[in-house]
Amino acid sequence: MKIEIFAAHWGNNELAPDVFIERVKQAGFDGIEMSLPLDVAEREEWTTRIAAAGLGLIVAQWETVFHSDFAAHRTALEQLLHNACAARPLHVNSHTGKDYYTREQNLQLLQLAADISRQHGIPIVHEIHRSRFSGHPMLLLPYLQQLPELQLTADLSHWCCACESLLEDQPQTLAATLPQVRHIHARVGHAQGPQVADFRAPEAQAALEAHLGWWDEIIRLRRAAGASRMTLTPEFGPVPYTQTLPYTQKEVSNAWELNVAMLALLRQRYA
């Protein structure tokens, strides 16, 4: 099974496309994960440059977070997913639904995504993320029971935060969830937040080992299923994910540096 590691555009939005793409190439990533403009010309500029650089593409859809009204959220999700699939990425990573929508409303959104996925022939995976339909294990599990074909992005740092633990007491939750994962966001969270200051620090080792154990199991499951590819995106984020020192506003760590360091760890572990 081929392991491909993608660079997150999140946190690098100020860079011009050619500058960011060159940065990704120099670091040794296999591709880029990013949201794409709705303007067709701008979208195609990005996709053309990425393809010319020999990089893969995963499209992220997160902009529906701005729509609390269900009807507006549904309309935006439909537009954004069609736009994402039009770029012909490896897959689309979607922030879908809200934790305060009814199950029937979230099911409508998941069905919409499934229909769009079939129409374009592009897999759409749904990210485990706070405040989405999957924001807590007990929110997600009923959907997995009803939709056994549901495919997920594992960003389990969010569950650490939501459950105020490293999920030590929830083996059954992980056993039900990990087989559905098709993409990993390789960020390390802890019991009080979605991102440790530096995963290489001694005080972060318990959290790192927990996440590595989950990622190992996901990759083992995908290999056992005969999958040809598994994708991971190191996704340490900018402020406020990266904390700042009081009064100075100085960041305690650099997100890009952490993502490149995580790339090296993943290459060594899963080569």
The Cβ of residue 86 has, within 10 Å, a number of other Cβ atoms equal to 16
Measured distance CA(215)–CA(209) in Å, rounded: 10
Which CATH number does the domain housing residue 7 bear? 3.20.20.150
Q: Can you tell me the distance from the alpha carbon of 105 to that of 100, in angstroms, rounded to the nearest whole number?
A: 10
The range of the structural domain enclosing residue 92 comes to 2-270
How far is CA 15 from each of CA 9, 59, 171, 186, rounded to the nearest angstrom?
A: 9, 18, 41, 22
Residue 271: what pLDDT? Answer: 85
Q: How far apart (Å, rounded) are the C-alpha atoms in residues 208 and 205?
A: 5
Instruction: State the Cα–Cα distance between residues 246 and 97, nearest whole angstrom.
Output: 34
Contact criterion met (CB below 8 Å) for 253 and 260: no
**Alpha-carbon dihedral 236, 241, 242, 245, rounded to 10 degrees:** -170
What total number of domains does the chain contain? 1
| Residue given tokens 């897999």 in the structure block | 123
Beta bridge partners of 232: 5, 184
Residue 92 phi/psi, 5-degree rounding, is: -110, 130
**Res 29: pLDDT:** 98
N-terminal to C-terminal alpha carbon distance within the chain: 10
- How many residues would you count in the chain? 271
- Partners of 152 in the β-ladder: 126, 181
In 3D space, the residue among 244, 253, 240 whose CA is nearest the CA of residue 200 turns out to be: 253
Q: What is the DSSP letter of 29?
A: -
Quote the CA–CA distance of 177 and 204 in Å, as a whole number. 24
pLDDT along the chain (271 residues), means of 10: 98 96 98 98 98 98 96 98 98 98 98 98 98 98 97 98 97 98 98 97 98 98 98 97 94 97 98 85
